[in-house]
Amino acid sequence: MNYRYLILLFVVLAIAPVSVVQAQGRGFDTSTLRLQAKADNLYRKGHWERAHFIYVNELAAKGDKYSQYMAGYMCMHGKGVERDKIRASAWYRLAAERDGPEFVAIRDQTLETMSEEEMLESDAIFLDLRQRYSDLVLMLDDIEEEREAMSETPTGSRLSGSSSAITVIDPATGDTIARNEYLRRLEKRMQVKLDYLADKLGSEPLEPDMSNGEFAELRDRVGEYLQTVNDR
C-alpha cells in the first residue's frame, strides 16, 4: 500500500470541516492518533486481522473517517478479512460522509464500477453502517449524555463557611471550573451539534432545553433520514 497516500488521508481527516468537528465534540485527539498509529503499524507488519479489529471496533465505530476508509480498503483487497467489493464500497461511502474530497473520489470511483444489482447490495450495507456509525448517530449519543449531565447536580466542592461557587471538572477539557460555566459550556456544545442536525434535516432550529419527548422525536427523524440513500 502507498503510505504517502495514507499520510494524505490523515491530512484529509485533520482538515475535516470545522463545523463537523465542533458539532461532534470530538477533536483530532492524541488517543485517536495513537490508535491509528498502532493499527497502521500492525498493518505494515502484516498483522491484518489485528489491524482490522482496531480500525473497525475501536476507531470506525467512534466516527473516525480514516479508519472507516481503511475498513473498506481491507475489504476491497482481502487484508485480514474476506475480499468483498460490495462491503468495501459501503465503508467507502460512510468514510465520505463529511465530503472529504479524497474519500469522495474513492467512493465515486468504486461505485462507477458496480452493476445496479451490486449497487443495491451496497445500499443495504451502507444504510446499516450509517445507522450505527454515522456522525449524526454519534452526535445524538453525545447530546443525550450532555442532557443527562445538565439535569444532574454536578459533584463539586464548596469550602466550609465560604461563599465560593461550586466547582466541577469539565470532562471534555479536564478544566476545573465554576458549575455555572460548566453548564454554559455544555449548552454551547449541544447547540453546535443541534444546529448541525437541524441543517442536515432541514428542520426548524433545535434548542438544548427540548423535552424528552421532543428528543425522542429527533432520534426518530434522524433514523428516517439515515435510511435514505442520498450519496449517489
The answer to whether 191 and 181 are in contact (CB under 8 A) is: no
pLDDT computed for residue 165 by the predictor = 64
pLDDT means over runs of 10, the chain (232 residues): 45 40 52 92 96 96 94 97 97 95 95 96 96 94 91 52 65 82 90 94 93 95 92 83
The answer to whether 55 and 67 are in contact (CB under 8 A) is: yes
Domain that holds residue 87: 3-133
pLDDT computed for residue 28 by the predictor = 54
pLDDT computed for residue 149 by the predictor = 87
Number of domain units in the chain:
2
pLDDT computed for residue 178 by the predictor = 86
pLDDT computed for residue 163 by the predictor = 44
Strand-pair category, 176-178 with 167-169: antiparallel
* Shared domain check, 157 and 87: no
Question: Among candidates 103, 135, 99, 132, which has minimal Cα distance to 23?
Answer: 135
The three grid cell numbers given for residue 4, joined into one nine-digit string: 504517502
pLDDT computed for residue 153 by the predictor = 52
CA angle, 71 then 221 then 106, to 5°: 25
Final residue before a domain boundary, out of 133, 153, 177: 133
* Shared domain check, 173 and 89: no
